[in-house]
Amino acid sequence: MKLIISSVSGEPIYEQIKTQIRSAVLSGELAAGEALPSLRTLARELRISVLTVTRAYNELADEGVVRNIQGKGTFVMERGNELMKRQLETRVRNCLAEAATAAQAAGIPAERLHDMLDDAYRQ
C-alpha cells in the first residue's frame, strides 16, 4: 500500500491517511488481519509527525476498520470491510435524503433527479 499525501489539498493529513486506508480495505488491497505500517515507519516515510499517524490509526480503530494491539501493531479488522460499507451506505442515504428535500423545494421532478444522480454517478 502506497499512501500519497498532499500538504496543499486543504484536507488534514490524518484524514488523507484514513481515506486512503479505508479505500485500500474496501478494494481488497488490504486484507483482514494484514498489518499496517508501524506508526514510526509511516511517519518517517511520509515525513510527518507520529502524532498525525496515531490520530489516523486511532480514528480508524474507533470506526472498527482496524485494531490496535499494544506492542504488536495495527491490523485490519476481520469485519472492517462490512462495517465500512454499512457506514458509507448510511452516509449515501443521508446525502440522498438531503438531495431529495432540496429537489422538492426547487420543484425538480423525481425523474429529473434520477437523471442528475445517474450523471453524477458516471463522473
| Cell 511517519 belongs to residue | 43
Question: Considering the domain 13-78 in this protein, what is its CATH number?
Answer: 1.10.10.10
What number of other Cβ atoms are within 10 A of residue 56's Cβ? 27
For the entire predicted model, the pTM comes to 0.70
Cell of 24: 485500500
Strand-pair category, 66-69 with 73-76: antiparallel
Angstrom CA distances, 31 to 10, 35, 102, stand at 30, 9, 39
Per-residue pLDDT of 74-87, as tens digits, reads 999 886 667 777 87
Per-residue pLDDT of 65-74, as tens digits, reads 999 999 999 9
CA–CA separation, 71 vs 55, rounded Å? Answer: 17
